[in-house]
Amino acid sequence: MPPDEQARHWLPSATSECPVELDKQRWIESSLRWFTDQFGTSALSRDTVPPDADFVSGKSYSGSHAQIDELLIRLRGLMPVDPATVSLELADGEAADPRVLSAIAVHELCHVLIQDRADRDRADRDRDRADGDRLADLLSVYFGFGVFSTNAAMRFATLNATRNEGYHRLGYLSSTEWGYALACYSWLRREKEPGWARHLDPGPRVYLEQGLAYLSRTSADGELPTQRLLDKEVRIGDVTVRVTRGAILGPGPLGLMFPGASQAGGTN
């Protein structure tokens, strides 16, 4: 089977349109590129964390302080986090499910990493990141926790809805955003048919498949669509604009600049 057909044969029913709106696509792709600049590409070459990963040894989990400490130690070993900078505060019931607890811990560790990089950059240090929680979820995908975090977020959302609670601690991305983020992650790894996709919750998996179909149609291996348009003029209706890196938009995003204008504009 030719390579292109082999890459697409598992997506026979998937539409090849991008599953997210343009502004969300730009935010996801440019943030992932910012991650490669800030954290390197080694995270892309390691194994994806499976959804049944057990970060606590032993068969009996009780949510004890010792088990929670062990979980954090193991997670820190998979992420470039200084243990001295990490403390995890848990609400009632959050330690009951080790997978949900692990996903919450990963989310908070990603917050620490993002804040550390922002503190090094004057432009980001002086700006309140309104998308901080969403960016932390996206960083969990980059570090290989995408399937783990997505499934935990779907489970958390279901439990939260069942309890009729407005509480929100996990899962700040929508199902379509999780799916497309995982598609971009897979594409950057040059995985056109990722084996780990079979472990993904059915909802986000549909959008992962659609995202891969879209990327296979629009982009070269390891390249994301907005990266391809960077610093090029494109025609949108009757207007010509230049896609450029916009410092006013946050870490790594791409904005639109009208030729001759003095600064980029756009929304995250």
Is residue 221 within 8 Å of 190, Cβ to Cβ? Answer: yes
Predicted confidence at residue 265, as pLDDT, reads: 38
| 113: helix, strand or coil | helix
Residue 147 falls inside a structural domain: yes
Residue 266 falls inside a structural domain: no
At 167, the pLDDT band (50, 70, 90 cuts) reads very low
- Measured CA to CA, the distance from residue 162 to residue 184 in angstroms comes to 32
Domain tally for the chain?
1
- Measured CA to CA, the distance from residue 206 to residue 204 in angstroms comes to 5
Read off the pLDDT of residues 100-116 as tens digits, 9 standing for 90 and up: 888 888 998 998 898 88
Q: Please provide the average confidence, as pLDDT, over all residues in the chain.
A: 76
pTM over 0.85: no
Read off the pLDDT of residues 5-14 as tens digits, 9 standing for 90 and up: 444 444 544 5
Predicted confidence at residue 171, as pLDDT, reads: 78
Higher-confidence position of 268 and 172? 172
Residue 176 falls inside a structural domain: yes
At 256, the pLDDT band (50, 70, 90 cuts) reads very low
Residue 28, C-beta contacts closer than 8 angstroms, at least 6 positions apart: 20, 138, 177, 180, 181, 184
| 12: helix, strand or coil | coil
Residue 74 falls inside a structural domain: yes
Residue 260 falls inside a structural domain: no
Residue 254 falls inside a structural domain: no
Residue 235 falls inside a structural domain: no
Predicted confidence at residue 73, as pLDDT, reads: 85
Give the domain extent around 213. Answer: 3-220
Residue 62 falls inside a structural domain: yes
**Burial (CB count within 10 angstroms: exposed 0-12, middle 13-18, buried 19+), residue 119:** exposed
- Measured CA to CA, the distance from residue 79 to residue 144 in angstroms comes to 10
